[in-house]
Amino acid sequence: MAAPILTLRDIHLTFGGDPLLDGAELTVGEGERVCLVGRNGSGKSTLLKIAAGLVEPDRGDRDIRQGTSIRYLPQEPDLSGFATTLDYVEAGLGTLDDPYRARYLLNTLGMTGEEDPARLSGGETRRCALARVLAPSPDVLLLDEPTNHLDLPLIEWLEKELSSLRTALVIISHDRRFMSNLGRATVWLDRGTTRRLEKGFASFEEWRDEILTEEETAAHKLDRKIVRELDWLRYGVSGRRKRNVRRLGQLHSMRQDRRETRRATGQVQMTLTDADMSAKQVIEAKHIAKTYGTREIVKDFTVRILRGDRIGLVGANGTGKTTLLNMLTGVLEPDTGTIKRADAIQMVTLDQTRESLDPNTSVQDVLTGGHGDQVMVGGVPRHVTGYMKDFLFAPGQARTNVGVLSGGERARLMLARALARPSNLLVLDEPTNDLDLETLDLLQEMLGDYPGTVLLVSHDRDFLDRVVTSVIASEEEGQWTTYAGGYTDMVNQRGHGVQARTVDGPAPKAKAEKAPSAMVAAQAKKKLSFKEQHALDTLPTKIAKLEADIAKLKVDLEVPNLFGSNPQRFNDILSKLEKLQAELTATEETWLAAAMAQEELGK
């Protein structure tokens, strides 16, 4: 191990009852790359804050070699108090740091530096925070979930950027591929203490399972009663791992079958007629297209989705993954082309915002609908506490309100509720957000057992490789292509991964001819018009309200068998949802035009 420059020894910390950290240790040497892993709530973020000097432990030592510079990336960066994003990034520079690097990193990450921090999205906030910690080139970088809110092109850029640095890294992340590519040592925080493996994350799970198996054997020898009192999850890991290995084999077989099915379909396509869809076919889209303004989101796309398919939609942020997903599932209608769906579709959706959970409702009521203590799972009643255990909840959490759950616990609760509902089509939008490794294992197991069809939007490359049978990938200018296999199979077929969306593409000829006069007019302006200023002041509130209304309508669509029981209401909701989506797009474009005008004046 390299000479240590940051050391935590015998760290103890208690919040309330049981100790969170009970003798935890962390040593970081020059240029080391350490993955810090553990279950949600185990204290990983707290240990990282202690390393950054932001939290004082109850007991223990923190030693830093003299002259060592440390930068810390929190899960939820705070940009308040800064006039622009550039001001925020430059505030993290030291006296000897290159000020040009701050603007360079912001531009590389798609920012101008003139943005108002109060109006940033989650992804923009994360990019600014990354620029702030990367700009000084510190000796130690402490990164807490650095890939949150980033799309695939930015995740892969960040991997290359961190790989090129001589900086020592300590990384907390739910992204297996990210940690496997960067990590060279692994520290496991478990039950308040730490264990260290001098290998990268790729070797961690096998090492962890061996330790847990040894502990289980020793516990059995000491006292069988102790075994019953231990956390059931810990002794289910190795068993689930074996089942997942079997499922991976089955997945490879399914992918091979899908390749052969696609080839056979391609050979007989010309002889097909407009007959009724067979029960095996879930969705068939032919030559569909969708345009917002002058931008083509989907262009002449055709796909057939069969029962049992697991389809992953991938692309950079802003390429239209959610739009395509909404068209396939009936939330939006295409401008041109046709989409046929099986009559008996029962769809359940899991969005990435978790907004449809009432914070004042208990975990038990979320799962039972507020009726008793039984959950109907696949038509079979189960006691709610038993079902909760399947999703890593303790029985005592049944009466806990949603508002006090962590992000990972809310994600698990949404997943539990979704999978309890009768469905044959499961739509998942970024389901891996906030999930720890054990919960990701659980989700993969659940999807492996799910008998229906899965449509999945995700930036998690490893998760895609473990789950999907084919990938629908965004290409340039509204083109979408279907690839058999997982994310790695797609990369092998197309020769590259997901690339960043080209924001400033070629303009239509008519617009190009008018550009010079528009530029002259912009240069001649001295201030914003009343209409532009009014848009900047009022439209953010309107956009937020539209987004909330759209989220509520999506929740209304989750009612089981809504189309079969009340087709009129189903169609009314779809119609209203499409109008609100169009209004949201128009409002965002109006606000963007005003913001660009303000930016031009600033220049």
> What pLDDT, in 10s, does the model give residues 36-59?
998 877 889 999 999 999 999 999
Average pLDDT over residues 554-582: 75
Looking at residue 36, what DSSP letter applies?
A: E
- pLDDT score for 405: 78
Over residues 194-218, mean pLDDT: 87
Instruction: Determine phi and psi for 17, rounding to 5 degrees.
Output: -90, -100
pLDDT of residue 278: 47
Nearest-angstrom CA–CA distance, 473 and 490: 8
Give tens-digit pLDDT for 310-324.
999 998 877 888 889
pLDDT computed for residue 520 by the predictor: 34
pLDDT, mean of residues 85-108:
90
Task: Read off the pLDDT of each residue in 249-270 and give the average, rounded to a whole number.
Answer: 51
pLDDT value of residue 60? 95
pLDDT of residue 268: 29
Q: Which residues of 337-372 are buried (b: 16+ CB within 10 A; e: fewer)?
A: bebebbeebbbbbbbbebebbeeeebbbbbbbeeee
- With beta carbons less than 8 A apart as the criterion, state whether 49 and 75 touch: no
Q: How large is the average pLDDT for residues 420-447?
A: 81
> Where is pLDDT greater, at 276 or 485?
485
- Between 235 and 364, the more confident residue is 364
Of 302-316, 358-372, 375-389, 497-511, the range with the lowest mean pLDDT is: 497-511
Query: Over 90: is that where the pLDDT of 392 sits?
Result: no
Choose between 375 and 71: higher pLDDT.
71
288 near 301, Cβ under 8 Å? yes
User: 484 in helix, strand or coil?
Assistant: strand
Return the closest-CA partner of residue 40 out of 410, 365, 444. 410
Residue 195 CA to residue 187 CA, distance in Å, equals 6
202 pLDDT above the threshold of 60: yes
Q: For 196-210, what is the mean pLDDT?
A: 90
Specify the range with the lowest mean pLDDT, choosing from 261-265, 272-276, 538-542: 272-276
pLDDT band at 369 (very low <50, low <70, confident <90, very high): confident
Average the pLDDT over each of 125-129, 391-395, 503-507 and give the range with the smallest value: 503-507
pLDDT above 70 (res 500): no
Q: What is the pLDDT of residue 417?
A: 84
CB 410, CB 357: distance < 8 Å: yes
Q: Token pair for residue 231?
A: 């956390």
Q: Tell whether the model's pLDDT for residue 233 goes beyond 60.
A: no
What would the mean pLDDT of 512-526 be, rounded to a whole number?
A: 38
Average pLDDT over residues 270-282: 48
Q: Summarize the confidence of residues 388-399 as an average pLDDT.
A: 83
Look at 537 and 336; give whichever has higher pLDDT.
336
Give the residue-averaged pLDDT of 57-62. Answer: 94
Average pLDDT, the chain: 80
Q: What DSSP assignment string belongs to 156-201?
A: HHHHHHHHH--SEEEEE-S-HHHHHHH-SEEEEEETTEEEEESS-G
In whole angstroms, what is the distance from residue 160 CA to residue 156 CA? 6
Residue 514 has pLDDT above 50, yes or no: no
DSSP state of 269: G
Lowest mean pLDDT segment, chosen from 1-10, 31-40, 192-201, 566-575: 566-575
Mean pLDDT of 203-213: 87
Structure tokens at 40: 């949600």
Res 596: pLDDT:
66
Q: Is the pLDDT of residue 64 over 90?
A: yes
pLDDT digits (tens, 9 = 90+) for 158-195: 999 999 999 999 999 989 999 999 999 999 999 899 99
Q: Which of 70-74, 251-255, 397-401, 557-561 has the highest mean pLDDT?
A: 70-74
Least confident of 82-96, 233-247, 254-268, 283-297: 254-268
Compute the distance between CA of residue 475 and CA of residue 154 in angstroms, rounded to an integer. Answer: 16
pLDDT of residue 516: 35
Q: Please say whether the beta carbons of 11 and 75 come within 8 A.
A: no
In this prediction, what percent of the chain has a pLDDT beyond 90?
31
- What domains, with CATH codes, occur in the chain? 4-201 (3.40.50.300), 278-494 (3.40.50.300), 516-602 (1.10.287)
**Mean pLDDT (whole number) for 384-404:** 84
Tokens read off for 73: 């990336």
